[in-house]
Chain A
Amino acid sequence: MNLRRIGTSLIAPAIGLAVSIGATALILIAIGANVITIFSSMWTYGTSPRAMTLMLNLATVYFLSALAVSIGFKMNLFNIGVNGQYILGSLAAAVVASNLQLPKVISITLTILTAMFVGAAWAGIAAWLKVARGVSEVISTIMLNFIAIGIISYLIVRTSIGTETSVNIRGTKLIPESGMLRGSAFIDPGTKVYGFFIISIFVGIAYWFLLNRTRFGFDLRATGKSATAARTSGVQSTRMIVTAMLLSGAIAGLVGLPYLLGQTGSYNLQFPTEWGFIGIAIALLGRNNPLGIAVGAIFVAFLDVSSGQLVLEGVPREISTIMQGLIVIVVVISYEVVRRNQVKSEQRNVAKALAKQEVSA
């Protein structure tokens, strides 16, 4: 089974990639840019050591974001609120970390726990609204995103949490070096790969184990496949929804940490706030599977980093966002088509195989 299944699950992303490259090429042609030059300069730059480092760093962030989203997806829960969860988590983490003067391991652990706790709590609001009041988590998490932005703006601009960290920039106090995770420059001597990169690999492994090797993971996947069957098998749907959302929020809380602990050391209003949406796209691309998500994260990060080159050629770098959007649409459609074919062909194959068995028996 394994080889064929892997093969069929690669068809959809392959189609998505092909369509998106094709469409991008068309757009480039339409605006009068030289397709070959552009693609090759993107590739050359993208495979340079510095770019690869930047790519790994970005991929770490995307990976965590997509993991957070996909726990929910596995259960047909749509956590669109990763943005709000991680910015609040990062702010809280920055505040906590900047007030600690402890050995690195303890400091980092506390920072991580803070971020996870805050992220989970924020997601918990949406979870409670869903199970207690029937509110769709799609809308509630999006609303919570906007509310989170407001809270952060208030805390940084109008309370003592924010200070002038440099000219015209207000943010949290700087985190001391003992609390940072700057990483090491093992690919390119001038740029470091975030220390959190290693941690995120562990998160990914833990995620896989949780989902595929624990009873809880089985319950979660079963609920996503058939809520009725799961209920009959003993799963309590309310408890599952809340737990899944809390877990999703907890992982979401981590999304800002690679950047916070690896580079800036302070949370300010320039902190990127859109990493949650990219996580949704990558979760869809990677089919909610840690390996697929990792590949997807690396791919999207590659696009993002190498598209910086495009500006030099007079092409807006946002073309990579169009590529991403296109890939997502085409891939989700292809997945659906492939899935339906798979079900039918499996039925046919089983019937054939059984007929053969009868003949030879």
Chain B
Amino acid sequence: MSESSVAVELQGIWKRFPGVIANSNINLKVTAGTIHAIVGENGAGKSTLMKILYGMQKADEGTISIHGTSLVFNSPADAIAAGIGMVHQHFMLADNFTVLENIILGSEPKSGGKLDFAKARELISDIAAENGLAVDPDVLVGKLGVGDRQRIEILKVLYRGAQILILDEPTAVLVPHEVEELFNTLRDLKKQGFTVIFISHKLDEVLSIADEITVIRQGTTVGSVNPHTEKVSARDLAEMMVGNELPTPQSVGNTIQDKVVLTVENLSVRATGGKAVVDGVSFKIRAGEILGIAGVEGNGQAEILNALMGIESSTGRVQFLEEDISKKSTRHRRDLGIGFIPEDRQRQALLLEAPLWENRMLGHQTKAPNAKGFWLNPRGAKADTKRIVAEYDVRTPSIDVNASALSGGNQQKLIVGREMSGNPKLLIAAHPTRGVDVGAQAAIWDHIRNARQAGLAVLLISADLDELIGLSDSIKVLLRGKFVTDADPATVTPQELGTAMTGAGKAA
């Protein structure tokens, strides 16, 4: 075996934030010219680790070695100089700039005092050609789709001479054929001698592309496996990530009633530009039924939810019990008894700079116990907040602290508790247990199941396939704004569902 050099070595990395230890004693060795994946649950510390490697954060303790040389990074500029390039999960692109401007920003070729646009164009088309990444340098980035934007991010790092690429959750927002294109690009890059570090929690994908996989759990490295030489399954990896037996929510018999709570006919949402992000979706949910929607993020789930809540405009018909609510306001829909757990809890579901008991009122400020007619009832709200804190195990020293002081998981528990209060007839939930620890996750599932027993109808969207399969009575798969297939939770496996979600196995 030829001597393969170690491209990146992290030893003994520690990083603490107020209230939490993000990385504890992390050790990582990445061989040059390979694709190395880092997997772990949300909040396990992967992003923090990569930010340290890219110079965006500084480790409290530990060393970084690139190709055997120990280096200190004070800023991304240092990391860039060492040949490291980072492709962020949330793209760092200026929509109002062209592709060219975005790529050269900070490392502009100059002639005299002037920016040498011609030279820039030349450099970029060279790099693009070498690595099979086609781009039009004069297009405004704001007009580009997700796959193209990612390509630009990759070009950005290549343009700066990166030899080591870090990709943070690159497939989170890609549709299936874009994932394949990305993986082809990565394989090309590997052939050219680049080293790729790939952060993900999509275990199936990781197994198909990575040469080596490191698992991180609760801020520390659990172990590394080589999928080429060892037999390892997604389930094995998942157990390494979580540390114990995965809880599987089990369905308990039939609770579905005859009464139809929600009827959706031909719902469509158009993005600016006319493209149908949601394309003629129809479904019914009955009391006591949980309908799950499976799909890779970005296929229209968020828009369906926003349309149902009246936050985004849509065409089509939405009927709640006997009432046509297609044109009704958000407040009206909520008052009818629709609870909503949105995807972006910090932006959509919380007032971070308000105490917990005021957050209890958010979305429900028109009814008891929060209000009596025109007037608010702080005492009622506070008492009820205490109840929610107890019932949903929200870890907080008091109900007067600001929501920003709580951890993400506890914020989520508060939100779930709030939306489940007041006996809603329909609960629309997006990733209800995201960021919640395993024990509380099971408790939330119990709450939902109990409510279902009592007649609650639920529309469930989740990236956690086990949650989706375990809770739902029926599942529809959403792809590019349309329902493409149904699945029976009693018989479908996560692998089958994942396949349907990514459109693999279907003619394009």
* Residues of A in contact with B (beta carbons under 8 Å apart): 1, 212-219, 221-222, 225-226, 228-229, 231-236, 343-344, 346-354, 357
Complex interface: chain A residues within 8 A of B347 (CB): 226, 228-229
Contact A232 B331 (CB under 8 A): no
> Number of contacts between A and B (CB, 8 Å)?
108
Contact B331 A234 (CB under 8 A): yes
A212-B376 contact given A346-B404, A347-B18, A351-B19, CB 8 Å threshold: yes
Bound: A253/B359 CA distance, A: 34
Contact A231 B330 (CB under 8 A): yes
Measured CB to CB, the closest approach of chain B to A134, in angstroms, equals: 16
Complex interface: chain B residues within 8 A of A352 (CB): 19
Contact A236 B331 (CB under 8 A): yes
Contact A350 B397 (CB under 8 A): yes
**Neighbour of B362 across the interface among A233, A346, A357, CB < 8 A:** A233
Contact B401 A350 (CB under 8 A): yes
Bound: A227/B402 CA distance, A: 17
Complex interface: chain B residues within 8 A of A344 (CB): 18
Complex interface: chain B residues within 8 A of A348 (CB): 18-19
Contact A347 B405 (CB under 8 A): yes
Contact A234 B334 (CB under 8 A): yes
A236-B406 contact given A226-B350, A348-B19, A350-B396, CB 8 Å threshold: no
**Neighbour of B404 across the interface among A215, A217, A347, CB < 8 A:** A347
Nearest residue, chain A, Cβ from B351: A225
Contact A214 B376 (CB under 8 A): yes
Bound: A71/B347 CA distance, A: 23
Contact B400 A1 (CB under 8 A): yes
**Neighbour of A357 across the interface among B311, B363, B397, CB < 8 A:** B397
* The 3 nearest A-B residue pairs measured at CB: A351-B19, A234-B331, A353-B397
Bound: A174/B134 CA distance, A: 80
Interface check B47, CB cutoff 8 A: no
What 4 additional pairs, Cβ within 8 angstroms, besides A229-B362, A232-B309? A214-B375, A218-B358, A346-B401, A347-B405
**Neighbour of A354 across the interface among B18, B329, B366, B397, CB < 8 A:** B397
Nearest residue, chain B, Cβ from A218: B365
Contact A1 B342 (CB under 8 A): no
Nearest residue, chain A, Cβ from B377: A213
Contact A350 B334 (CB under 8 A): no
**Neighbour of A226 across the interface among B20, B334, B352, CB < 8 A:** B352
Contact A225 B330 (CB under 8 A): no
Nearest residue, chain B, Cβ from A5: B400
Measured CB to CB, the closest approach of chain A to B92, in angstroms, equals: 22
Interface check B398, CB cutoff 8 A: yes
A343-B350 contact given A234-B329, A351-B19, CB 8 Å threshold: no
Measured CB to CB, the closest approach of chain B to A354, in angstroms, equals: 5
Complex interface: chain B residues within 8 A of A222 (CB): 351, 354, 362
Contact B331 A235 (CB under 8 A): yes
Nearest residue, chain B, Cβ from A227: B347
A232-B340 contact given A218-B361, A347-B18, A348-B19, CB 8 Å threshold: yes
Contact A229 B18 (CB under 8 A): no
Q: Is the interface of A mostly helix, strand, loop or mixed?
A: helix
Bound: A215/B350 CA distance, A: 17
Render B352-389 as a binary contact track against A, CB cut-off 8 A, 1 for contact.
11110010011111100001001110100000000000
Measured CB to CB, the closest approach of chain A to B14, in angstroms, equals: 17
Nearest residue, chain A, Cβ from B396: A350
A236-B19 contact given A212-B376, A229-B351, A350-B405, CB 8 Å threshold: no
Complex interface: chain B residues within 8 A of A221 (CB): 354
Bound: A222/B18 CA distance, A: 27
Contact A234 B363 (CB under 8 A): yes
Contact A217 B362 (CB under 8 A): no
Measured CB to CB, the closest approach of chain A to B201, in angstroms, equals: 25
Contact A229 B376 (CB under 8 A): no
Can you list 5 residue pairs at the A/B interface with Cβ under 8 Å? A214-B375, A229-B348, A235-B330, A236-B330, A343-B404
Bound: A216/B373 CA distance, A: 11
Bound: A243/B365 CA distance, A: 18
Complex interface: chain A residues within 8 A of B342 (CB): 232
Measured CB to CB, the closest approach of chain B to A267, in angstroms, equals: 36
Interface check B242, CB cutoff 8 A: no
Bound: A175/B366 CA distance, A: 45
Bound: A225/B375 CA distance, A: 20
Nearest residue, chain B, Cβ from A223: B351
Bound: A221/B354 CA distance, A: 10
Interface check B259, CB cutoff 8 A: no
Measured CB to CB, the closest approach of chain B to A146, in angstroms, equals: 33
Complex interface: chain A residues within 8 A of B331 (CB): 233-236
**Neighbour of A215 across the interface among B329, B376, B401, CB < 8 A:** B376
Bound: A168/B350 CA distance, A: 61
Contact B349 A214 (CB under 8 A): no
Bound: A219/B361 CA distance, A: 10
Complex interface: chain A residues within 8 A of B329 (CB): 234, 236
Contact B405 A346 (CB under 8 A): yes
Bound: A278/B334 CA distance, A: 42
Complex interface: chain B residues within 8 A of A353 (CB): 397
Complex interface: chain A residues within 8 A of B396 (CB): 350, 354
Nearest residue, chain A, Cβ from B371: A215
Nearest residue, chain A, Cβ from B398: A1
Interface check B90, CB cutoff 8 A: no
Interface check B143, CB cutoff 8 A: no
Bound: A235/B364 CA distance, A: 11
Complex interface: chain B residues within 8 A of A346 (CB): 401-402, 404-405
Measured CB to CB, the closest approach of chain B to A77, in angstroms, equals: 18
Complex interface: chain A residues within 8 A of B350 (CB): 226, 229
Complex interface: chain A residues within 8 A of B355 (CB): 1
A229-B349 contact given A215-B371, A234-B330, CB 8 Å threshold: yes
Bound: A286/B352 CA distance, A: 22
Measured CB to CB, the closest approach of chain B to A311, in angstroms, equals: 45
Complex interface: chain A residues within 8 A of B402 (CB): 343, 346
**Neighbour of B365 across the interface among A219, A347, A354, CB < 8 A:** A219
